[in-house]
């Protein structure tokens, strides 16, 4: 929709929402694999094709630190790094906690000497809490915000996720962000928290 609207000036400032800190425990690869299966089965069969629970990262903090270093350079680099690591994890089945992989990605963005500590990620997470982030993704744009606007999420009696796309809500929110009104300030990036991780 961003490209279709001709709004290449709109960028995403993807802030960390590290579930290992939110939940106080690392993510369970089997539980994540179940959620990936639910998303593919109910919402997006063309996504998460290469996800491999055997390569699931022990921690997302190093990857989030690399993304933060990208944003320290400029918003476009940070956004591109975030999508690159998301694809590495969910589409290529790679372990984004692997130092060798992170170094390779960093060098491909000319960030081989990046230095961002985990305290930076914790600070950004706490900033998200203060803003009222409910989970990931939670979008902020001007005076508007929306938690996971693309999906209606509930749980069945067994605790499994039931997901339904809500294209109308997503389209309405993005329209607000991509039109010149109070919801969008030119030059101000949209600010979602990252995909779970």
Return the pLDDT at 104: 94
pLDDT at 10 over 80: no
Write the secondary structure of 163-194 as one string of H (helix), E (strand) and C (coil).
Answer: EEECHHHHHHHHHHHHCCCCCCCCCCCECCCC
- Cα–Cα distance for residue pair 64/51, rounded to 1 Å: 19
Per-residue pLDDT of 32-68, as tens digits, reads 998 899 888 888 899 999 999 999 999 999 999 999 9
Domain boundaries, the chain: 19-178
Return the pLDDT at 12: 83
Per-residue pLDDT of 139-186, as tens digits, reads 888 778 888 888 888 887 777 777 777 778 878 887 777 774 443 333
Band of the pLDDT at 117, cuts 50, 70, 90?
low
* pTM as predicted: 0.79
Residue at token pair 């992170």: 102
Mean pLDDT taken over the chain: 83
């Amino acid at each position: 929709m961003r490209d279709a609207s001709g709004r290449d000036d709109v960028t995403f400032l993807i802030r960390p929402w590290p579930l290992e800190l939110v939940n106080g425990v690392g993510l369970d690869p089997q539980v994540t694999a179940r959620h990936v299966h639910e998303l593919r089965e109910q919402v997006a069969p063309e996504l998460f094709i290469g996800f491999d629970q055997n390569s699931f990262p022990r921690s997302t903090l190093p990857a989030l630190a690399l993304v933060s270093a990208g944003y320290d350079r400029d918003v476009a680099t940070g956004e591109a790094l975030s999508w690159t690591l998301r694809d590495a994890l969910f589409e290529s089945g790679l372990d984004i906690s692997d130092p060798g992989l992170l170094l390779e990605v960093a060098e491909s963005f000319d960030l081989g000497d990046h230095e961002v500590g985990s305290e930076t990620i914790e600070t950004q997470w706490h900033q998200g809490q203060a803003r009222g982030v409910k989970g990931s993704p939670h979008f902020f744009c001007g005076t508007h915000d929306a938690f996971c606007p693309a999906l209606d999420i509930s749980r069945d009696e067994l605790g499994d996720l039931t997901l339904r796309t809500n294209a109308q809500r997503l389209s309405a929110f993005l329209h607000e962000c991509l039109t010149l009104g109070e919801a969008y300030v030119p030059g101000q990036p949209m600010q979602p928290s990252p995909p779970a991780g």
